[in-house]
Structure 1
């Protein structure tokens, strides 16, 4: 059994072949799919996905940092309303993204901190999006760290030192297609990180692993990520699948 801890299966990119795409993933051994939120415009699609695949799909709720704009308070209110009326398995994806735009830096920080507090109150994990914002993310995590803080550093692309710092906040590292890239860099030090801190993800339809790089990603391609981890950790395919799925169970508590 393989767990994809981060996949946007509700994406319009899967509109034409969602059934086939899901079957390919199941045939590849992927049986659990954790679905991150972006903003309120995707909520209905997420709920429909859960309805269609109740045994396989597990939803998160949250406000993505690139959706933090002038109306972010209104969006956060919608997140809170959903958290109050329905069970979710994590709060995410949340965090900070300073790659495209720094205009809403303070608002992103506020939204991140607010959602972390909601996660701690509910004893839920968080799923962190971080792009060009490690220092800012760590600053918030440092101020919010406690026994109830846990989660996944989605699509981890940092250095060895940043990996160790993320782990110190009770975070697993979400490892996806980047580990297969020639210039991905994390493959150079990942063997220095105990595999107990690693979970698998695709971030489909984005960041397809080699040899599909540049094409639409899908959850079935997680097998290419497992193959890379087999080479890095010198463990069997089965061991990688079992250990990373167990790690995901520790985070999501299911």
Structure 2
């Protein structure tokens, strides 16, 4: 494996892992991000010989696997147990190029309440509102998704949605880019935190008024993903965590 191949893409995935950890969506060594870089090749966050957790992901932790699951990793590296989760989602459409699997505590807690994430917020986070309006499904199993049968079940539960919650487990988010997949995961976490905080206060939040939706437009990928991504890179840089 030539480490300097796909250098830009490896750095992108590594910084994505650091962002997820910095924002509290993953803890210690759990969670992973993948990116399809060709028709047959996927880059994914692996565990390496110097494993220190996602917040300290290195470029060399991002290794190549085949879309069919085969791989020949360098000594000391191992693919995630839940590699089948990534491969199943990536295989659903060539438009999906990146997958995020994370364990946000607020998302896990919301799945345990038995309540779905709903469009209870508006301008506070319009992309989250839009996803909740269309419906954010839940996969009922809390087991590791480490084989093709469980991965197929998760994909079936996910349907056409870009994000699926995993009961008592976390979430899986997809996107046409690493940036889109990561920001979608962040937005779902933001919605889960808000809805959970209201429920914890003893209130049942109502969906936003339908009349408000015309003033809650889709501001486009550059605003929703590009600007937000650059903010998170800047936040990593401020904390001394950015891989330049």
What's the TM-score once normalised by structure 2's chain length? 0.31
Which is helix-richer, 1 or 2?
1
What's the TM-score once normalised by structure 1's chain length? 0.30
